Amino acid sequence: MTQPIHILVDADACPVKEEIYKVAWRHELPVTLVSNQHLRVPQHPLVDKVVVGSGFDAADDWIAEASRPGVVVVTADILLADRCLKAGAAAISPAGKPFTVQSIGSAVATRAIMADLRAGMTGEGIGGPPPFSKADRSRFLSALDDVLVRLKRLFPTASPPAP
């Protein structure tokens, strides 16, 4: 039996929720938004939300446990992406960068180096990521669509849930 394709979203700080809905509806695929707090989501049969407890990494743990082949995880969290890839899921960042088995090791190492640098800083910090741009949104839309098209080829008999 083929497992259905599903999109899981690390939703608390996700800046591309609207884009995810549009792509999911076009592909007729279910989306689950996972968060530590209540979020407003569209009333749509393909959109679901899960509110986990406020415990450390509760949303990450839920997403990692639900990850499997056929799942696309949208997250900016490199360590969560690593866990999802190990479970066979695809993972992309909200900026449209796909996480891959080949690239995740260096991403985890870079994250650790940056954390060490931030911890050693006194006074002025390193700063955060640049502001989210239209180019980031466009890159995300393209990356999500590419991943879903690839998964539909791998899981050709996967069908959306009945509304």
Tens-digit pLDDT profile for residues 94-137: 999 899 876 765 655 555 555 555 555 555 555 666 778 899 99
CATH number at residue 84: 3.40.50
115 found inside a domain: yes
1 found inside a domain: no
78 found inside a domain: yes
Name the nearest CA neighbour of 70 among 146, 5, 159: 5
Ordered alpha helix ranges (H), 1-133: 17-27, 58-66, 78-86, 101-120
- What is the CA angle 132-41-92, rounded to 5? 45
160 found inside a domain: no
pLDDT of residue 162: 46
pLDDT range class, residue 43, cuts 50, 70, 90:
very high
Name the nearest CA neighbour of 95 among 70, 131, 148: 131
pLDDT of 46 over the 50 cut: yes
80 found inside a domain: yes
- The letter for the amino acid at 86 is K
Q: How many domains does the chain contain in total?
A: 1
161 found inside a domain: no
- The letter for the amino acid at 118 is R
Domain range for 79? 6-120+130-154
Name the nearest CA neighbour of 7 among 44, 46, 42, 61: 46
53 found inside a domain: yes
Contact 95, 132 (CB under 8 A): yes
At 3, list the tokens.
């497992």
159 found inside a domain: no
pTM: 0.81
Name the nearest CA neighbour of 13 among 29, 37, 31: 37
What is the rounded CA–CA span in Å between residue 40 and residue 24?
17
